[in-house]
Structures are given as structure tokens and as C-alpha cells.
């Protein structure tokens, strides 16, 4: 695990506080309003608070992940949902749990939107499973996420391509 400097730790806490405040403040907002507020937060953080490339990228990832989750919760159509999915894929995932979360939300979104071709969601579930299998067996998340992923596959009917 990466050791943070005192300054980086302070900035991290400020970012967490800003996220928490925004989550509370936007709980009843439409997706369009919420997205604008998160983009404004991102601009603010990148301009004035975050100093290292790692901090900047991680903040962008967290905001992208949050917007993707909100797009799912607001049942946004594919043009919005797909745009946010592609952004997360470009930025990369914060960790194995976030990768799992994105794959599962996409699978559930496809289940809600039967007109959407689920092959990409199946591919993302397959990638997530391969990623989880590469984690050390001693990793505390590995088995739990693999079991949860298998359950999500049963719920959505998105079996692995090799079955």
C-alpha cells in the first residue's frame, strides 16, 4: 500500500469531505443537475486542491464511478449510461471492488433494458472474473467477490462465454 505524505493525506481528507457533502446535497436531484455538480467539483479539485498525477486520476475515477452509479439509480438511457461506462474504462478502476461494481451495474442495466445487446456486459463480467482470479488466494476480497459475481450471473442470465 502506498504511504501518503502529510500533505497528501490532508488533501485526501478534504476530497472525502467534499464528496460526502455533495452526496448529501444531491440526494434528491435529477441526474442532469447531479452530473453538473459533480463536474464542477471535479474542476475545482483539479484546479485548486490536487497536486499529484495519482491524486488527480484517482479523483477523476471516483467521480466517474459515482456518476455511473447514479446513472444506474436514475435509470438513464444508453447514451448517458454508455458514455459514463466508456469514461470509467478509459480512466481504469480504483480497485477490484469498483471493477466488480461497474460490471454488475452494467449487467443489471442490460437486464432492465432488454433492447440493449448484453454481450458487452457479459464480456465485462468475464474480464472482472479473470481479474479476480488473478488476485492472491489470500486476498480477503477475492472469494467473496467471486461468489457475488457468480450470483449476479445467475440473476441476470449472463453466463461466462466459455460455458
Going residue by residue through the chain (163 aa), what tens digit of pLDDT does each one get? 556 678 778 888 888 888 888 888 888 899 999 999 999 999 998 888 888 888 899 999 999 999 999 999 999 999 999 999 999 999 999 899 999 999 999 999 999 999 998 899 999 999 999 999 999 999 989 999 999 999 999 999 888 866 5
Helix (H, G, I), strand (E, B) or coil at 66: helix
For residues 80 and 142, state if they share a domain.
no
For residues 38 and 46, the answer to whether their CB atoms sit within 8 Å is no
For residues 147 and 129, state if they share a domain.
yes
- Cell numbers describing residue 99: 471493477
- Cell numbers describing residue 130: 479473470
96-120: b or e for each residue (b if 16 or more CB lie within 10 Å)? bebbbbbbbbbbbbbbeeeebebee
What is the domain count for the chain?
Answer: 2
Does the pTM of the predicted model rise above 0.85?
yes
Q: Which of 123, 128, 132, 114 is nearest to 161 (CA)?
A: 123
- Of 67, 94, 121, the last residue of a domain is 94
For residues 101 and 138, state if they share a domain.
yes
Instruction: Tell me which residue has cell 460455458.
Output: 163
* Residues of the domain holding 124: 95-158
Report pLDDT for 18: 87
H or E element in which residue 23 lies: helix 6-25
For residues 77 and 114, state if they share a domain.
no
Rounded Cα distance, 127 and 12, in Å = 30
- How far from the centroid of its chain's Cα atoms is residue 136's Cα? 22
Report pLDDT for 3: 66
Rounded Cα distance, 14 and 10, in Å = 6
Residue 135 DSSP label: S
Rounded Cα distance, 156 and 111, in Å = 6
For residues 22 and 88, state if they share a domain.
yes
Report pLDDT for 27: 86
Helix (H, G, I), strand (E, B) or coil at 157: coil
For residues 99 and 77, state if they share a domain.
no
- The number of residues in the chain equals 163
Amino acid at each position: 500500500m502506498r504511504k501518503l505524505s502529510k500533505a497528501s493525506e490532508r488533501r485526501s481528507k478534504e476530497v472525502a469531505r467534499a464528496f460526502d457533502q455533495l452526496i448529501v446535497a444531491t440526494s434528491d436531484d435529477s441526474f442532469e443537475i447531479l452530473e453538473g455538480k459533480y463536474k464542477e467539483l471535479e474542476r475545482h479539485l483539479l484546479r485548486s486542491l490536487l497536486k499529484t498525477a495519482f491524486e488527480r486520476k484517482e479523483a477523476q475515477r471516483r467521480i466517474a464511478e459515482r456518476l455511473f452509479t447514479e446513472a444506474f439509480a436514475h435509470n438513464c438511457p444508453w447514451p448517458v449510461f454508455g458514455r459514463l461506462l466508456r469514461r470509467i474504462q478509459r480512466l481504469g478502476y480504483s480497485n477490484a471492488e469498483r471493477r466488480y461494481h461497474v460490471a454488475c451495474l452494467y449487467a443489471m442495466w442490460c437486464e432492465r433494458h432488454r433492447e440493449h445487446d448484453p454481450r458487452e456486459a457479459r464480456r465485462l463480467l468475464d474480464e472482472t472474473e479473470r481479474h479476480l482470479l488473478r488476485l492472491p488466494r489470500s486476498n480477503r476480497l477475492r472469494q467473496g467477490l467471486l461468489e457475488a459475481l457468480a450470483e449476479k450471473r445467475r440473476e441476470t442470465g449472463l453466463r461466462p462465454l466459455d460455458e
